[in-house]
Amino acid sequence: MDMKLQNDFCEHEMTTKQNVEQITKDEVWENLKANLEALEKPKNLLLLGSLGTGKSSFINTVITALTGKYKYHADVGRGSKHNTIGLHMIPSAEYWNPENKEIKTQNLPNFIIGLDASLSESNEENSVNKELMRLIINGQLPQNCDLFYLNNKLKNGEKINIRRNLQMTTVDIIIVVLSAENDLTPDTLLYDIYKETKFETKNIPVFFWVLTNVDKSNLAKKGLEEKKNDICSIMNIEPYKVLMCSNYQPDHKPSIKKDIKILEFLTKVNSLYYNGPSIRVKGS
């Protein structure tokens, strides 16, 4: 086989693979749309995790997979630099504005970000103020409120004003973000969050987990799968509730394969199964 014929063959193979991936993405997107149309309203997704795990980057990655364009909808910090100082919601109307009017109205999720380990109720570095956490999950704090200020007031025993209209920002789903570069064991922050939502008999949000930065991890595929299995074992969750992914960067080219994984995950997160009452559990 001469060089030209070999190149033509390789190009044909690549084109065929891309076509198959695009067809798969279209099918996944149709499933997601049908799922979203069955919802009464968009779900509110709260992103939780320690500093530098990629919470904001993951939000930008999801929106990139949906729109095909990378934008800084969520501010991205720099590793250990704290970048989440207020309770910030990114409503679907902010990132979803397609020209096609037929798909303009979609119950795509609203993203909420703002709680991490720097908001502690003591001198413990990795603890979190449980009262502040409850207020966030129950949608009782206004957008863009200064969480550090409120946290300090609670530490000093002062009362804070809370909202009574809980419909807009009440959390439906919690997505816990971990980095594949770090130790997989959930730290005190994540344990406190998980324990708090299961305390006594009450409605709780549904939990999903995201393991980001798999492209930066030194682990091979088998090692990453072991991390995923460990998360499932430690937190007692099903494997389908854990997504392993790498985040988009501004200079990255679109990846159909990555988009498919993201859209499939969104389909699970926004499943009609979770449109009814939240899961009820008994206190431990």
For 147-173, write each residue's pLDDT tens digit: 878 888 887 888 887 766 555 678 888
- pLDDT-based confidence at residue 64 (cuts at 50, 70, 90): very high
**What is the residue type of 175?**
I
For residues 118 and 96, what is the distance between their CA atoms, to the nearest angstrom? 31
Q: How many CB atoms lie within 10 A of CB 86?
A: 16
Mean pLDDT for the chain?
A: 74
Torsion, Cα 47 48 51 56, to 10 degrees, reads 0
- pLDDT-based confidence at residue 262 (cuts at 50, 70, 90): very high
pLDDT, residue 9, reads: 44
pLDDT, residue 251, reads: 83
pLDDT, residue 85, reads: 64
- Angle 14-18-21 from CA coordinates, rounded to 5°: 140
Q: Name which residue leads in pLDDT, 32 or 101.
A: 32
Sole residue written with tokens 């119950």? 107
Beta strand residue intervals within 19-95, DSSP E: 44-48, 88-90
Sole residue written with tokens 């949608």? 139
Phi/psi for 221 (5° steps) reads -55, -40
25 Cβ contact list (under 8 Å, min separation 6): 256, 259, 260, 263
**Weakest-pLDDT range from 75-89, 147-161, 199-213, 258-272:** 75-89
Report yes or no: 267 and 37 within 8 Å, Cβ to Cβ.
no
Q: Which two tokens stand for residue 279?
A: 């899961």
Q: What is the pTM of this model?
A: 0.79
* Closest by Cα among 168, 190, 242, 186 to 211: 242
For residues 171 and 205, what is the distance between their CA atoms, to the nearest angstrom? 7
